[in-house]
Structures are given as structure tokens and as C-alpha cells.
Amino acid sequence: MNENRMNMKRGAAILFVIFALLFFVLFTRFLFIQVSGKADGHSLKNEALQKYLRTDVLESKRGTIYDQHGSVIAEDTTSFTLAAILDPSMTTNPKKPKHVTDPEKTAKVLAKYIDMDRSEIEKRLKKKGAFQVEFGKQGRDLSNSVKKKIEAEKLPGIIFLRDSKRFYPNGKFASHLIGFTQKLEQKKGSQILHHTVGQMGIEKTYEDYLRGKDGKIQYTSDLWGYLLQDKKQMIQEPDDGDDIYLTIDTKIQTFLEDALNEVEKEYRPGKAFAIVADAKTGKILAMGQRPTFHPDTREGLGRNWSNDLVEYSFEPGSTMKIFTLAAAIEEGAFHPNELYKSGRYKVGREAVRDHNGGQGWGTITYLEGVQRSSNVAMANLLEKMGPEVFRQYLDDFHFGQKTGIRLPNEAKGQILYNYPLEQVTTAFGQGTTVTAMQLVQAATAIANDGKMMRPYVIDKIVDDKTNKAIVKHGPEKVGEPISKETAEKTREVLKSVTTAEHGTGQIYQIQGYEVAGKTGTAQMPNPKGGYLHGVNNYIFSFLGMAPAKNPQLVVYAAVAQPKLNGEAGSVPVSKIFNPVMRNSLQYLNIEPKQTPAAKAIQLKDFADENLSEVVGELKADKIEPIVMGTGKTVVSQSPEADSTILQGEKVILQTDGTVTMPNMENWSLRDVMKAASLVGLKVSYTGEGYVASQNIKPGAPIKKGQKLILKLMKQEEKLLFDQQEKERKQEEEEIQKQETEENQESPTEENQEPPTE
């Protein structure tokens, strides 16, 4: 028994020692943790802080893109992301559910507001084990109006997460210049962050300026994530992106977009593009193209990713003759009244032809050659200057070089000038390729008295904090290829292209303003070699400036492969150039040309007087006499004697003998009525404006009571009509000539401009 008691004491002592050791170890461990604050090498304080420390992202705002007047072109705006709560535990009151209770009904309703199939929505709403689901890009970037409509449906479990999106308030508006942005996902720990990144145009090129830097907020929370009282917040403010101001003028850009829309709708061209530039500074006031896309939806983007105005190089056609002419004037090789033989020009064993099939217009002056867009005239001027001299001018005008406009992927074109034939064809705009921006830059030298200005589209970049410009661009002269005198003479000759009887640019006349410029028609390369054939397979263009005496604007417009319905290729181009130039000049308050006040003249009674004397007297007073009759004595007149008329008006004179019909083309209806009343004609007409056609041929005898049928047209319609008739006759003459010639073309035939020039 004593032995058992001893064993029990021994066992108790051992247990005591063991528990004492355990207590000592635990106490020592506790004391160590208490003193050091560490366990297993981890700082318990930091672990606790990490567990209850919350970090949220404070999103930065992307920089805004403005026009030169501060109108918004692209900006960040509030948007919403659609989400659905699926976890039933979120509902505490069955009468007011906080989760999706009816996936089928919810899917049916949501399908009306987001671009997602009902079945796909329903599939997401039935996802097992998910607390919350979203709906991809279809459920993001929702506007406030869409949010309110969905909220009005009172769908349980449907919530909205506040977000921001890039907004382009003008829609299709210089889209290839501005570009667009896209939200890219980035996983950071358990969070999925969305970053807006520029994908094209200025949005991409100036990403480093536009992109902001996100901030963050850190705070200590309780177990449920609520901010603990008396705990400090740590805030790192976001750094917003910088703002960009363009040289673009929203009003002028709108004029251009509207014109391009009309041409695209009516002619469905392969390409159409245009630029409006300040002639004195090189500022790009507007630039646009078709096809284009909507930067918000990206609709249409797949048709063309390129900014054609800087990335697309093409043969310019006769617009290049502007610079050949300027070089020839500078070198003293152009004499407007000097004669040359038009039609063909031999280059070795080959020949180039004028655009009417090489028929030409006989022996004409060089001035008329420019007006008619004669290739042979340019070939002769090149010969007079010397090919080496003109090659230097090509460099001086910066062809074959990038303009440096600071836009991505700018092309520099290619000067083909190795052989005599290439040198000649370059002089009239074939073979060598250019960009639209190069043509505009070179044209500023003509418009700006010899000083060539670099085109630029970024006015300034402004720091978001200081509101001060950190980048600023301004007018920059990049060369002076010709003198002031040469520029003035060139503009005078180019003005005659739009005003002269034989000018190919008559259709580009603008009422109240004188336009100087040059038409262009160039064949398009065939991917399989050679050139495309057919009346539609050309790039039709016009490079013009106005007012001609002191240009303020340079406008280049081009239309490639329009679907023409019997019209000349210049017609769709004029529907871009004319309204854009006219509206822009008026918007900029550039005064139209003032016409001198006409002197008032009181008419005498010319009855029984000699016709030739009366005609001479009226012409001396700057009054236009219209003779109706084959006699030599005046019988009656309209207006009557003692009437007061202004210089430039018409006086109708009826003579003895047979009464004959005058040519009433371009007459006003008022003048027609004066003549009809005088000789007793009955007038019937359609349309409005000025006389375009008449049923009684000029010079034909007429009788009292005979019916005169007229077709009236407005001035612009009449110009189009005249141009089409002129080109139709040229085409008929060319067809007749080709039928009589041998069925063999010149080796350079496909490099010539078609009769539509």
C-alpha cells in the first residue's frame, strides 16, 4: 500500500513537472509575442491592419478634347454598369426581395434595354453559387436615361454600379482624326479594374497626356467593412489627364461632315475626303472622310481604319499642275499669251496626250492651256524649265516628304522621276503619288504669298492642375519655294480656271467670292497591274483657295470611284467644295466681293432710228442691246422711252423685217417677259432661276402668239448643267474620232486624264 502511495506521488510529481514546463513554455511564448509583437516571423500588428484595412480605387478622369473655341469633342461622362444580385441571403424581408426572384421575367425585360439575347441573360441569372453577376460589355456604359427606364421596371435584385465612359457628343465627327477609346480589364488581386485606353487617332497618339493616374483611399473598418470611428483615412488623390485643344472649328467641321454625308448618300463613292485649312497659318480647321465610323459604337470602323488624309497616297492628277505652273512662272518659262500646239507631246518613241483623246484644241495660248487642263502645256513648260530644275521645286514644295503634322502613320508619297516619261507625267500629276495633306501644305505657298506653312491640328495641351499650356503649337513656316510676285500671278491664272469660257473649274464658282484653283482627275491603280478602267474608276478632285486675291482658306476635296449617273466627275466634288467653302467664308465673316454700283440711265425713244447707231449708243452706256429682227431700223423697244434702267441691264429692240428669236440662255425671267411682251409670245416655264434651255432656236423666225417654253435653273444647277453638256459633247467628239482612228492606243494612254476633266 505504501508502494502504491509512493507511485501516486511520483506520478503526480511527473505531471506537475510536465504541466509546469508547458505553462512555462506558453508563458514564455506569450511574453515573447507580447514584447516582440511577432509570431512565426509575422508582425501581428500588420496582420491585423491588413485584415481590417480597406483600399478603394479613386478613378482619375481622362483628359477632354476640345475644338479651338473650347467646344467639347470627347470627354469622360458618368455611365452605369448593370449587375444582378443572386444570393437569397441578401433578402431579409420577403415582401421586398433584394435578389433576383424570377430569372425568366427579369431576362425578358432586360433584353429590351441591353444588346444581349434573352436566353443569354437568363443563363447568367441562373448561375449557381454566384453572389452577383454582370452582363459583359453589353451591360456597361449605360446612360442615365437607360438606367432610369430599367429602374422603372422595378426588377428585384437589379442594381447599377456607377462608372465613367468616353463620350463623343458630335457622333461621326472627324472620327479618324479623333479616334476612340476602349476599356481594358486588368486583374489586381481579387479586384478586376477597367482602364480606358486610346485605340486610334489623337486618343491613341496622345495617350500619355490624356491618360490620368488613379488615386486610392485606405481606411480601417470593422468586421463588416464599415469605417471605424476616430480612425484616420489615407487618401491619395487621382491625377486627371491633361486637356487637348485642337485647331478644328466645330462649325466648319459640321459643314464638311454634312457635305460628305450628302455625297456618300447620293454617289456611294469608294472614298471621299476633304480638308479645310487656314491659308495664312496652316491650321487645320476641318478634315473628314468617308467611309467613317461612330466613335461611341464603332459602327462602320471595319470598312476603313486609316486616316486617308495623311495615310493614303495617290496620284493627284491635274491638281499637281498648280505647282508646275508656279515653278514655270518663277523660272520665267510661262508666258500666258505665247502659243503652242496642243494635242500630243512626243517623249522619245512614246507620246502623252491631252485629256480629250489627244485631239487637243489646235494652236492655243498657254493661258488657255492651263484653263483647259492641257497635259501638253505642262510638258512644254517642263521642257522650258528643264527636268532638273522642276525636280528641285518638287523638293521645295515638300513632295515626297512627310508634313510633320504629328499624326500617326503619315505617308510621304513617292516621286517617280527617273526617266523622261516619268518626268513629264509627274508635271501633270500622274505616276508620282502624294497625300491630301501634302497638297494642302504646298497650296499654302500659293495662297500665302510664297510662304509655305506646316499644317497642324494640335493647338495646345493644358495641364489639368495648373490650367497652363504644357505643349503649344503655332504657325510654322517650312519653306518659301516661290516669291510673292509668283504666288500672285499663279493665283490670277488659277482664278481664270473657274471663270474663263474654257475653264475646267467653272462648276466651282461661288457667288460673291472669287475662287482660284485647279481640277484633278487621276486614274486608280489596278492591284493586278496597270490602271482600272471605266468612267467611275477615277479620283476626281479640286484644290482651291478663296478669296482669290487674298486667300483666307484652302480647301481640298476628292471623291474616288463615285457611282455617276451621267454626271461629270466634278459634280460630286463640287457638292463638297462649294458649300464648305461658301459656308466657311460666311461663318468667318469674310466679306464677299463688292460690285461697283451701277449707273442709272434714262432711255430715249429709239423708234425709227438706225439699228447700228442705237446699238452703239447703248453699248457706250454699258447697256446690253438685244435685237429681235432682221431689219436695219428700230420699230419698238422694251423698256419704253423715258424708263430708267441700270448699267448692265438688257434693252430689247424690235426691228422691221422678220422678227427672230434671241438666245435667251442665262436670261432672268424678268428679261424674258420684256421680250415676250414686245413681240407677243406666250411664255410657259418650269423651274426657277435663269434660262437653261428654250424650245425656239436662236435666230429662228417667230410669230405673234407663238408659245415659248423655257426651262429655268438656279445658278449652281445651271453651272452643273453647262458642265455636263460640255463634257457630253467632248465625249461624243472623242468617240467619233476614235472610230476613225486605228484601234491602237499610245503606250501612255492610260496615264491621261479622261474627258470628264
Residue 178: strand pairing partners: none
- Residues 573 and 571: their CA atoms lie apart, in Å, by 5
How many Å apart are CA 461 and CA 6, to the nearest integer? 96
Cα distances (Å, whole numbers) of residue 128 to 81, 466, 744: 21, 52, 78
Determine if the peptide bond prior to 169 is cis (ω within 30°). Answer: no
Can you say whether residue 595 is alpha, beta or left, with left for phi > 0 and alpha for psi between -120 and 50 degrees?
Answer: beta
Cβ atoms within 10 Å of 526's Cβ, excluding its own: 12
What CA–CA distance (Å, rounded) separates 722 from 716? 10
Name the residue with cell 469608294.
Answer: 270
Query: Percent helix, strand and coil across the chain, each rounded to 5?
Result: 35, 25, 40
State the DSSP string of 234-275.
EEE--BPPPEEEES--HHHHHHHHHHHHHHHHHH--SEEEEE
Query: Which segments of 405-511 does DSSP mark as H helices, in order?
Result: 420-427, 436-447, 484-499
The owner of cell 444581349 is 116
Contact predicate 689/679, CB 8 Å: no
Q: Which residues contact 32 (CB under 8 A, 6 or more apart)?
A: none
Q: Report the candidate in 151, 154, 117, 174 with the shortest Cα–Cα distance to residue 293.
A: 174
Task: For residue 646, give the H/E element and its range.
Answer: strand 644-646
Whether 154 contacts 72, CB under 8 Å:
no
**Catalytic positions, written as ranges:** 318
What is d(CA 689, CA 717) in angstroms, rounded to the nearest whole number?
9
The gap from C-alpha 412 to its chain's centroid, in whole angstroms, comes to: 20
Identify the H or E element spanning 429.
none
Query: How far is the C-alpha of 163 from the C-alpha of 159, rounded, in Å?
Result: 13
- Residues shown for the chain: 757
Three cell numbers at 207? 495617350
| Continuous H helices in 500-601 | 570-587
Amino acid identity at 216: K
DSSP letter at 289? E
Q: Are 550 and 544 in contact (CB under 8 A)?
A: no
Grid-cell match 431576362, residue found: 107
- Residue 614 near residue 653 (C-beta atoms within 8 A): yes
Name the helix (H) or strand (E) containing 609: none
- The DSSP H or E segment spanning 130 is none
